[in-house]
Amino acid sequence: MAHKCTKCGREFKDGSTEILKGCPSCGGKKFLYIRESERHKDVLEEKSIAEIVMETQEEVLEIKEEKPRKTDAYDRIESIRVLQPGSYELNIEKLAHSDEVVVRIGNDEKYMVDILSMAKGKKKKKEK
């Protein structure tokens, strides 16, 4: 005969002194008395997926892997995309072909986008 923690499901041998202080895994103080015949009953019974679905009344969803589509870097809509605060993805090719944006290539393979030139280009278009 064994005892099972109702909080985490850990099983203890009959007469174990560990359960007097509570479950060492989760600290639970409530235990369920399990008969030896019922102890491994759920493990010994083999059930098909259909039977498990019927018992739980949940739908089984199949996950399909999508194949990544190949897109040209220039064909993407955005030229600057914010990945997270302080981290950006730049479409350098698209920025370089644009008339409104000036791209400067600095030392150590660093790219700088002159945001002021973008604003100036928009003002000129509005004035015309």
Q: Where are the domains of the chain?
A: 2-46, 73-123
Distance in angstroms (rounded) separating the CA atoms of residues 34 and 12: 10
Interval 16-61: pLDDT, tens = 787 788 888 888 888 888 777 666 655 555 666 677 767 776 666 7
Contacts of 113 (CB under 8 A, 6+ apart): 80, 90, 95, 101, 102, 103
> Is 100 a residue whose pLDDT tops 60?
no
